[in-house]
Structure 1
């Protein structure tokens, strides 16, 4: 197979997955396993498990990072870009179109939009529920989550979020240095990735990741412009996502609402709509970018929010064997994951709950939607559609 044909196949397969992958990051990994491992046999079971472990270890949207990693193994850097593009494009276009259609509408006064906000309550509550069971299984990590939540509620700012994540990492590297464990395989993800050329590329990507994280806020303060502000805000949000795409909610809210780019009504309506389409949750940035600065804003926000994930995957692949054996690093991750549960719990209250639940009817619908997700196991897109209909009915009560 020629390289050109191989690259086209990467794009085609990832685009098909982007059209059909409903259900969030965990479901995406199942779709990837079925397509890439079982059906196409692009990699074996152990290599796939190792790649998933790496991407869950790194900050960023795990399912998108797994797709980038598979594309990288299949077709190099261009393969990684095409795998991301194919998987992301359907949902990015869908959310941008949704934002376009909502232009000029009074989102606060529309029943179905209010229903989307109540869907966000149920979906974030489901995320907190699931992450809590998996990431805070003991008293010490539950304490970290609770203290993080209380601190976020009392001192609600983007800077506090970053400080809490850093503090949790430092605490975890000491507290869990002996108890930390990560389930990993013994397989190398990709032997070629350890070559000197790959390591040089990896080092450049890591330098770029940290360099942009420091440089963009400085440039924004020296050369104030909306475009630079968009790039800085979305890059920083994409850099600090531990624990899944839902964690972007509080990060992005702190960037786009206090700045006056949009109101909380618009923000939560877009978040609710994000649950109804296939593909990665991070394409919520496409909706936000369009609201801020039209089609160009949607394109820039989408690319920039995924850029940190791309740089980290390219930078970490050759060094994963060494990195995963460091107990302090694994211990830091355990505490960071606990802290992000607390951050998401705080976001469930403010802005999600306080902006959406105003009446007993609102609470009842949100509770019914939560039950549909947790106990009836309905797909999120079905719940979102039901929420829009329920929101319309509430306007007549």
Structure 2
């Protein structure tokens, strides 16, 4: 019976994550909005505070933050296998699309299609909905509103990954000072069915691969090890999401002659047109260099650090977040995350999507469909694609 229950949980994770993987356009901040709608508001798999704390943890870790949040939710639901299933559902649609693009569709230009613009407008509605919901819980008083405002202003004016990490550290210190004696009634326990021994092994493996892969690359001169090393390092050393990893990947593969600048840019355009995490751009690069096998190898290599880090930290995270000395710091971080989300909502989501009054009007309609009429996100996505196509004809 227990196995049947576990199998049922895994199938449910796969179904919901696949639906999100097929409909989650708009980049990492939009993905957090889709997760909030699908996993928290609709399925109620965890409370708002636990979700916010998980987002805060993933903001601290290098790698694709939205993918790590999805892996973490799956792991809390059904253990390490649940995290893998959640990742597969969310990531596989865009991996398949980008590998096919690399193999068959390199003459197709979809970057300026009207329906793509419509999907960007959907992201505006989804992220706005998520920010409103999370801000009510995470910035209820003036002190936390001030921290969110500080994070918003700083990350808008200085748009670098270092700025984002720095403002989170400052908010943690401010939260520790301001809220260390603050008592919150809602502090649900995060259940993570992963042992601390397994977590320790994951952390050791993460750092070991970071050191050993370059040595193995030099010792063997095998192409597949060189590819794995380049993608693994890119996934391990980047803060700030998918757009930040692009220059790292460009430096790894274009100057060395693995692929041309034109092929790199064509794949980047395609990556903007598919749902799911932008890190799946690695699947395109791998497929251009070594066929579909290279696409799968690149995907595994660039996302492996995300798995090792999230599995390595989650079992220790609940005890840390429940520690009275850490709670105040987390309250400050969560407030700063709201400011960072609003900053990313403006740029790049708003600035690349709302280009004319008709775009704003359409975004208001989509927002109303999601918030007031409570239509499923996939209906809103299809409406956005169709509306974007019609707007393109006007």
The normalised TM-score by structure 1 is 0.70
SS in 1 for 2:241: helix
Q: How does 1:259-270 map to 2 (within 5 A)?
A: 266=270, 268-270=272-274
- Residue 392 (structure 1) aligned with residue 389 (structure 2): yes
Q: Is the 8 A contact 2:36 2:130 kept in 1?
A: no
Structure 2 counterpart of 1:112, from 95, 109, 115? 115
Gaps of 5+ in 1: 35-47, 73-79, 241-249, 275-283
User: Could you say if the C-alpha distance between residues 176 and 160 of structure 1 is closer, same or farther in structure 2, counting changes exceeding 3 Å?
Assistant: same
- Contact 1:16/1:87 (CA < 8 Å) preserved in 2? no
Change beyond 3 A, Cα 1:83–1:265:
same
Partner of 2:89: 90
Deviation at 1:182, TM superposition (A): 5.9
Structure 2 CA distance for aligned equivalents of residues 255 and 262 of structure 1: 14
**Match of residue 292 from structure 2:** none
Within 5 Å, give how 1:339-358 maps onto structure 2. 339-358=336-355
- Give the direction of change, closer, same or farther, for the CA distance of 1:325–1:182 in structure 2 (3 Å limit): same
Residue 313 of structure 1: aligned partner? 314
Residue 67 of structure 1 corresponds to which residue in structure 2?
Answer: 74
| Match in the other structure for 1:364 | 361
2:221 corresponding residue in structure 1: none
Matched, 1:17 2:28: no
- The answer for the alignment partner of 1:288 in structure 2 is 281
Deviates more, 1:147-156 or 1:8-17: 8-17
Structure 2 counterpart of 1:277: none
Alpha-carbon distance between aligned partners in 1 of 2:116 and 2:146, rounded to the nearest angstrom: 36
RMSD (Å) for aligned C-alpha atoms: 4.0
Secondary structure of residue in 2 paired with 1:109? coil
Question: What whole-Å deviation, never above 9, does each CA across 1:216-244 have from its counterpart, x for those lacking one?
Answer: 8x979x99x7754543443456xx7xxxx
In structure 2, C-alpha distance between the alignment counterparts of 1:385 and 1:57, rounded to whole Å: 27
- Segments of 5+ residues of structure 2 without an aligned counterpart are 20-33, 59-67, 219-225, 251-263, 288-294
Contact 1:17-1:31 at 8 Å conserved across structures: no
- Compute the TM-score of the two structures, normalised by the length of structure 2: 0.70
Taking the TM superposition and a 5 Å limit, the aligned residue runs for 1:177-196 are 177-181=180-184, 183-184=186-187
CA contact (8 A) 1:235 1:307 kept: no
Check whether the contact 2:125–2:367 (CA below 8 A) recurs between aligned residues: yes
- Structure 2: how far apart are the matches of 1:145 and 1:115? 29
* Whole-angstrom distance in 1 between the partners of 2:142 and 2:53: 26
The answer to whether the Cα contact below 8 Å between 1:55 and 1:313 also exists between their aligned partners in 2 is no
Change in 2 beyond 3 A, CA 1:118/1:188: closer
Q: Deviations over 1:136-161 (max 9, x none)?
A: 11111111111111111111111111
Q: Deviations over 1:110-153 (max 9, x none)?
A: 11111112212222222222222221111111111111111111
Q: Which of 136, 141, 147 is 2:139 aligned to? A: 136
**1:144-159 alignment runs, 5 A limit:** 144-159=147-162
Q: Within 2, Cα distance between the matches of 1:83 and 1:212?
A: 25
* Other-structure match for 2:29: none
Deviation at 1:334, TM superposition (A): 0.6
Asked if 1:126 corresponds to 2:134, the answer is: no
String of CA shifts for 1:322-371, please: whole Å, max 9, x gaps.
Answer: x3442220111111111111111111111112222222222222222122
User: Residue 137 of structure 2 aligns to a residue in which SS?
Assistant: helix
Within the candidate set 243, 247, 255, 1:253 is matched to: 243
Match of 1:28 in 2: 39
Distance 1:201 1:291, change over 3 A: closer
